[in-house]
Amino acid sequence: MTAPEDTLRIGLVGAAGRMGATLVREITGRPGVRLSGATERPGAEALGRDVGSLAGLEPLGLAITADAAALFATSDVVIDFTAPAATLAHAALAAEHGVPLVIGTTGLDAAHERQLAEHARRVAMVLSGNMSLGVNLLVALTAKVAATLGPDFDIEIVEMHHRHKVDAPSGTALMLGRAAAAGRGVSLDDVADRGRDGITGARTPGAIGFAALRGGDVVGEHTVLFAADGERIELTHKATDRRLFARGAVTAALWTRTRPPGLYAMADVLGLG
């Protein structure tokens, strides 16, 4: 059956990983969109395999390739959950082809984000360390609570993920840290404490601390603690199924089709900005 002309063609880079497989299942099961192609890095074992079969579905007749340029040429939007260096290369292709890009890659630093913003002057891009509605509500709440509470409240961010996660703190934890810092009117770079070991001395006043836990198959858990003498406020989000991130990414992909160039956040997609 031929897809309707208004069906959004979504390309997927990094299709062979767990998040890639989840995205394949989400895209193929959602009306109004179809998978236009899928890529992996050169030399990956998945090259040449059917992307549907790899995701546990019936074959889709789409073999995974290493040709990202061809993918952008045949897609209306591309979703990227890969690694920082790959994402920058994909952002350049997005700008070159005028194809919006939805980025769920974590481990991006300020320099990476500046490069992405430069490419986004030519095409719409959505960048978020977490695509879920619940987490983005948590980000908004964190900024509000940080702005409301005084300096007597210390801020700590604790996150836990599965044993295979390669970056720490998580992109979501950094989103929460930036929200807390913005609520206090400071830069996270100036107040972040991302590791304590040995005789560290007393806690630095105004610091925003991070703790990263890794183990098992945890999809993602994040808690922002506001601790003062005699009381503590804890804001927590727990993800139990990575499909929620895939749903958010596809929602963002649909949202980009009518957006002018710019670097957007998931809060913009969800109307929380």
**What 3-state class would DSSP assign to 56?**
coil
Which residues does 114 contact at the CB level (< 8 Å), separation at least 6? none
The reply to whether 161 belongs to the active site is yes
- Active-site residue among 119, 161, 222, 237? 161
Of 3.60.130.10, 3.40.640.10, 3.40.50.720, 3.40.190.10, the CATH number of 8-127+242-269 is 3.40.50.720
**Domain spans of the chain?**
8-127+242-269, 133-239
CATH number of 133-239: 3.30.360.10
**pLDDT for 29-59, tens place per residue?**
999 999 999 999 999 999 999 999 999 999 9
Burial class (CB in 10 A: 0-12, 13-18, 19+), 134: middle
Nearest CA-CA partner of 270 in 251, 244, 253: 251
- Active-site residue among 165, 222, 237, 238? 165
Give the model's pLDDT for residue 2: 42
Give the model's pLDDT for residue 1: 37
Give the model's pLDDT for residue 272: 81
Tell me the CA distances in angstroms from 61 to 26, 58, 81, 162, one per residue in order: 17, 9, 22, 32
Give the model's pLDDT for residue 5: 64
Residues in the chain where the model's pLDDT stays below 50: 1-2
Same CATH topology for 8-127+242-269 and 133-239? no
Tell me the CA distances in angstroms from 209 to 50, 79, 173, 182, one per residue in order: 44, 31, 10, 15
The reply to whether 238 belongs to the active site is no
**pLDDT for 196-229, tens place per residue?**
999 999 999 999 999 999 999 999 999 999 999 9
